[in-house]
Amino acid sequence: MNNSNSNNNKNNIIVDKDSYISLNATIKLFDENGNFQFENDLLAVEKYLETEIKPNFKKFNSIKEKLEYLFLENYYDFNVFKKYSSSFLISIFEKAKTYNFRFSSFMGAMKFYTTYALKSFDNKTYFEHFEDRIVCNALLFGRGNEQDALTYLDEMMTGRYQAATPTFLNAGKKQRGEYVSCYLLRVEDNMESIGRATTTGLQLSKRGGGVAYCLTNLREFGAPIKGIKNQATGIIPVMKILEDVFSYANQLGQRQGAGAVYLNAFHPDILKFLDSKRENADEKIRIKSLSLGVVVPDIAFHLARENKDMALFSPYDIQREYGKPMSDISITEEYENLLNNPNITKKYISARKLFQQIAEVQFESGYPFILFDDIANEKNSALNNRIIMSNLCTEITQINTPSILNTDLTYEQLGEDVCCNLGSLNIAKVMEDGANFGKTVKYAIKALDSIAHLADLSSAPTIENGNSKNRAVGLGAMNLHGFLATNKIYYDSEEAVDFTNMFFYTMAYHAYKASNETAKETGFVFENFKNTKYADGSYFDKYTQCEENYWTPKTERVKELLKEYKLAIPTKQDWIQLTEDIKKFGLANSHLMAVAPTGSISYLSSCTPSLQPIVSPIEIRKEGKVGRVYVPAYKIDVNNYMYYAKGAYEIGVNPIIDICSAAQQHVDQAISMTLFLTENATTRDLNKAYIYAFNKKCVSIYYIRIRQEVLKDSEKLFECTTCVI
């Protein structure tokens, strides 16, 4: 976030812990009938608004007066609002009030007012309620079209669509960060590229974005420099520099800058890379705050299965032999050629040792993230470019192309890098209006396309170049467990997988249809469309070349649900017609779907995160000065408690992988998939999880969470209440 916005969102407003905090805490206590008092959470919301927000909210006599004040005092960006008439601006703010929005959890209310609502520069006065922030987003997305703005208002006020945090937070504000969630940069094997990547990371972190780097192409420790052997210091010093960058660019203390680095598993520095996250790592190599990700080609699994050694190949030599960087070749396809080439330096490690070390480090730190290289590229629509990395949350898999830099760090050849324009559907809310599912997806894609057009990425020319050419977006979804539980379906069931499959199958159809309609209406087709599998329709063969009823629900319960919610499933003929339209008119966006973790916005929306199961029916969060906050699951009550009773640790990894695998069939990018293991898990269990996820064609694995038994006895009793209702 830029400097001028930072103090606008700190929470230093004094709270009264003896009122709403105590009410919230009582939801974990039993009433006289032995049931949790979930209704007290709504009482906590009322008390919070009455005692904390209302006294500190600036009052205006009219909407007109309020807008004039916020423009004059540089709180609202007039450039967003001036595209609409004054009368419309007043009417849309009035319209927003008619929805009579109420927060359905204390956590949601507190999250909004402490994180998202516009506050005075001294942080003592609130200027916005929830509906005001929604209006700002609707106006931004509408880009001057009044009817579109009203439609966006409806989609967001009803909770069907929720913008990602950077967009929702910054829309309409004068002092703001960027609308984009995160960025992906590739680094080439030269000082100019390293230097440019460092300065770009500073600029992007200043604006509030997380930044991931691909380091695969950097020469290994001991590689030659200018023909002199044993000179290169490898990737660790570069990681140290990047870590310092993100520690420095901390957005005036609001939050630390966030960075990640990805490395191919066949890079010679891979073991040092992993060791940098060990708890007892030497300080010379220890990486404390930077996230790590490993790109794992299929061949690594094959070698591990056969208990063979794997060769690690010099990126320096690969560049000289192939005339292209290591990241731009398929290690799986070229493995034998690389192995037999005497001009490529190599060293050997046990393939099983690599996976063992990955598991050990994950037990200690939760890292590294894993990107399944060949699975990601099987889903890649581009014919001539490879996916080489992911982002901070492992849901983005797009194309990065190399740049060539002059010695003054100007560009001789401008490559393409990636930004993440993200938003999410609330599955439960979308299903409530299942007959209009297509409309919701259409406007969600249009909203994200607007962000791709409006984002100011001039501080990062390669990202600006990639965004302008590709207009890539990432529409995701959240509240899967919430929808399942409130419809009395267990998360770890055949019905849950069946529903997930059908939901994302339908979502994909409407996402592609929306992008195709945008291309028809505007004439804009992403630049490389002709060199993709979209152009000849082959990308959609799984929908157009299948048996007639292949993509239909398999369980009676899901058939009933779809009928009950009036959700129409696209037919094979629908896909055939859409494919022909895409071949003829193209797509406006190179990428369309990606399922982010939705941590903050799921709390804001009082729903379950992403596609993950809940951790506990009542989650305990530590929130700054407030302390412990108790967060009940979405619409939890006596009737559906049993469907929430098993949390993520009890459910285990396989059902989570099954759910994500079902969705991944239709998601053109990736899914942030966190795996939860109990305190009794071993590295062998983790290795089994990798293999299972690999075999189920998941694209990535995000964090590994190991439950730690460190709670007090009273809290342990609370954690073991799955049978009380």
Q: Which residue has the tokens 């630049």?
A: 527
Determine how many CB atoms are found less than 10 A away from the CB of residue 655. 18
Q: Where are the alpha helices (DSSP H) in 315-422?
A: 315-322, 331-340, 351-365, 373-378
φ/ψ (deg, to 5) at 347? -135, 165
What are the beta bridge partners of residue 671?
595
Q: What string of DSSP letters covers 620-667?
A: EEEEGGGEEEEEEPTT--TTTGGGTSS-HHHH-HHHHHHHHHHHHTT-
- CA angle (84 as vertex; 79, 87 as ends), nearest 5: 130
The first and second tokens of residue 2, run together, are: 């830029």
The phi, psi pair for 711, rounded to 5°, reads -75, 155
The angle, 0 to 180 degrees and rounded to 10, between the axes of the packed helices 437-454 and 130-142 is 70
Taking a C-beta distance cutoff of 8 angstroms, is the pair 216, 429 a contact? no
User: How far is the C-alpha of 252 from the C-alpha of 1, rounded, in Å?
Assistant: 8
Per-residue CA distances from 197 to 150, 212, 232 (Å): 41, 10, 19
Q: Classify strands 309-313 and 346-350 as parallel, antiparallel or unpaired.
A: antiparallel
Burial class (CB in 10 A: 0-12, 13-18, 19+), 253: exposed
> Which residues are part of the catalytic machinery?
391, 393, 395
- Tokens describing residue 400: 């990065």
Identify whether the C-beta of residue 300 lies closer than 8 Å to the C-beta of residue 270: no
**To which residue do tokens 């037919």 refer?**
571
DSSP at 710: -
List the one residue out of 519, 510, 526 whose CA is nearest residue 575. 510
CB 220 within 8 A of CB 316: yes
Q: Which of 702, 668, 676 is nearest to 375 (CA)?
A: 668
Residues 6+ apart with CB under 8 A from 492: 613, 646, 651, 652, 655
Give the torsion sign (CA, 101, 102, 105, 110): positive
210 close to 260: Cβ distance less than 8 angstroms: yes
Q: Give the angle subtended at the CA of 401 by the CAs of 400 and 405, to the nearest 5°.
A: 125
Sign, Cα dihedral of 376, 381, 383, 386? negative
